[in-house]
Amino acid sequence: MSADEGSDTAEEAALGATSTDCLFCRIAAGEIPADIVHQDDLVVAFRDVAPKAPTHVLVIPRRHIASALELRETDGPLLGRLFGVAADVARSEGVADPGYRLVTNIGAWGGQSVEHLHVHLLGGRRLGWPPG
């Protein structure tokens, strides 16, 4: 193994592996176009292709995590970044006041259709509760 390969492996270990057949991994990698509103080394945020509210942004980790069911305590810094980005996006989209919703669906009965952890940021209208 060359020195370069060694450093790639270390970088992958730090950032986490991506899955080439995962839609959201491919959006994060820039392989599939999306309307991206934020990206950094850990997190990407892009507009949902089928918005359920005037503002509907998906906030995802670059690392492939199937759902919130997979999260561990060691993911704390990543989640801090993810929720911080969500707050920044809410402010920049102008929905922080009077309020908005963050939700993550898990599994079939939770309504999850893409198996890559994502937080929906929904705002721009009054949202009902409980959800259907």
Residues 72-91 that bind ligand AMP (CB under 6 A): none
CA dihedral for 5, 6, 11, 17, sign (positive or negative): positive
118 is known as an active-site residue: yes
The active-site residue out of 56, 64, 116, 118 is 118
Among 20, 91, 111, 125, binds ligand AMP (CB under 6 A): 111
φ, ψ for residue 47, nearest 5 deg:
-75, 140
Cβ proximity to ligand AMP, 87 vs 104, nearer residue: 104
User: 98: helix, coil or strand?
Assistant: coil
Cis preceding linkage at 130, omega within 30: yes
Residue 113 engages ligand AMP in binding (rule: CB under 6 A): yes
Alpha carbon distance 20, 92 (integer Å): 31
Residues 3-32 that bind ligand AMP (CB under 6 A): 23
Residue 34 engages ligand AMP in binding (rule: CB under 6 A): yes
